[in-house]
């Protein structure tokens, strides 16, 4: 047994012993009150089984950006949060600036849990959240330890075809938080958002319907991303997502392939090793300085766009992310059909 597991074990034993002593000293009327309060409890299904959750939890730990996006959209604030990478933030005391894109919806000052791939179990144990929410692909292995700290539910937003969509797990997350009505409202609002974006982008759809999406830092790799968040939204709007010949799914490709891709628009989902924030400007400069890439006609005609992978790729993937992208797409793409000045 590891030192951490041993510490958590004795912590749980101590808590359970205290609860037992208090329960034995209670009067029958207080026990009856507890039973009546338990009627608001429910079993919630998730990827690791079923977990009982009571009421509408307020002390919620969100173990990834996707989970944070989902709970914020449902009207719930986090008490603790794990980012895409460890930013060495102890407390998110200015979340609008510290948490990319969706931080402006955070009104609390959540405790930093480090990296989403290895959130701090020690801090979670000290915080004692009412519920911990995570993702299966990130938190399945450490689920037993997380479940010893607090009721823990892990979800998957992946469909059978491998596409990640928040509609896949939003109702489970909502049930865990007692927010089922809000989930239904989000699902209905999405259809309206798509319809609005489709109407606004009709001129682009008619002139330049083919879009090629790549994820790249333009230093070490380029990868096609036909199942990114942005690709999914563009397909919903009506665009055709193109791929290099012989490539069916996500795949790393060479720079030399790019000029041979038959496309009207290229979206570069940009990332860098230098910074989590605003990588698109760095990647734009690298593309402009690359003789092979800057000679492409689509680039010379200003139909290559650089956006931040953190939002436009698959890092966050929630209702608020979709809202931000759908609002930004018309301003971004309608420049392709404006007359030259």
215/228 Cα distance (integer angstroms) = 9
How many angstroms separate the Cα of 318 from the Cα of each of 33, 157, 229, 332? Answer: 38, 10, 9, 21
The tens digit of pLDDT for each residue in 268-297 reads 999 887 665 679 999 999 999 999 999 999
Is-above-0.95 flag for pTM?
no
What pLDDT does residue 151 have?
97
pLDDT tens digit sequence for 42-71:
999 999 999 999 999 999 999 999 999 999
**Closest Cα to residue 316, out of 283, 280, 264, 276?**
276
Grouping H, G, I as helix, E, B as strand and the rest as coil, residue 247 is coil
What is the model's pLDDT at position 276?
58
* Fold of the domain built from segment(s) 201-337: Rossmann fold (3.40.50)
- Is residue 167 over pLDDT 80? yes
Structural class in CATH, domain 42-178: alpha beta
Question: In the chain, where does the domain assigned CATH 3.40.50.1980 lie?
Answer: 42-178, 201-337
What are the backbone angles phi and psi of residue 175, rounded to the nearest 5°? -65, -40
Enumerate residues 6+ apart whose C-beta is below 8 A from 41: 52, 53, 54, 55
């Amino acid at each position: 047994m590891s030192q951490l597991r041993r510490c958590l074990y004795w912590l749980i034993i101590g808590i359970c012993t205290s609860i037992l002593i208090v329960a034995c000293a209670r009067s029958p009327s207080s026990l009856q009150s507890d039973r009546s309060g338990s009627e608001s409890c429910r079993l919630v299904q998730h990827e690791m089984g079923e977990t009982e959750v009571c009421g509408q939890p307020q002390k919620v730990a969100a173990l990834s950006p996707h989970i944070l996006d989902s709970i914020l959209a449902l009207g719930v604030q986090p008490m603790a949060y794990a980012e895409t990478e460890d930013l060495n933030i102890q407390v998110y005391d200015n979340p609008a600036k510290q948490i990319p894109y969706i931080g402006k919806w955070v009104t609390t000052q959540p405790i930093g849990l480090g990296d989403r791939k290895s959130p701090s179990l020690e801090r979670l144990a000290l915080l004692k959240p009412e519920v911990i929410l995570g993702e299966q692909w990130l938190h399945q292995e450490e689920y037993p330890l997380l479940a010893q700290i607090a009721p823990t539910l892990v979800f998957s937003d992946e469909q059978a075809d491998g596409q990640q969509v928040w509609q896949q797990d939003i109702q489970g997350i909502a049930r865990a938080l007692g927010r089922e009505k809000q989930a239904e409202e989000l699902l209905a609002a999405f259809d309206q958002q798509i319809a609005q974006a489709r109407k606004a982008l009709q001129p682009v759809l008619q002139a330049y319907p083919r879009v090629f999406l790549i994820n790249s830092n333009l230093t070490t790799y380029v990868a096609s991303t036909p199942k990114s968040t942005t690709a999914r939204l563009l397909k919903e709007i009506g665009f055709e997502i193109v791929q290099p010949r012989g490539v069916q799914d996500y795949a790393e490709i060479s720079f030399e392939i790019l000029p041979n891709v038959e496309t009207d628009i290229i979206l570069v989902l940009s990332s860098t090793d230098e910074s989590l924030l605003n990588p698109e400007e760095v990647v734009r400069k690298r593309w402009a300085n690359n003789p092979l890439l800057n000679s492409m006609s689509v680039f010379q005609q200003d139909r290559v766009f650089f956006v931040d992978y953190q939002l436009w790729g698959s890092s966050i993937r929630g209702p608020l992310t979709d809202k931000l992208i759908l609002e930004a797409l018309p301003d971004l793409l309608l420049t392709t059909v404006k007359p030259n000045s």
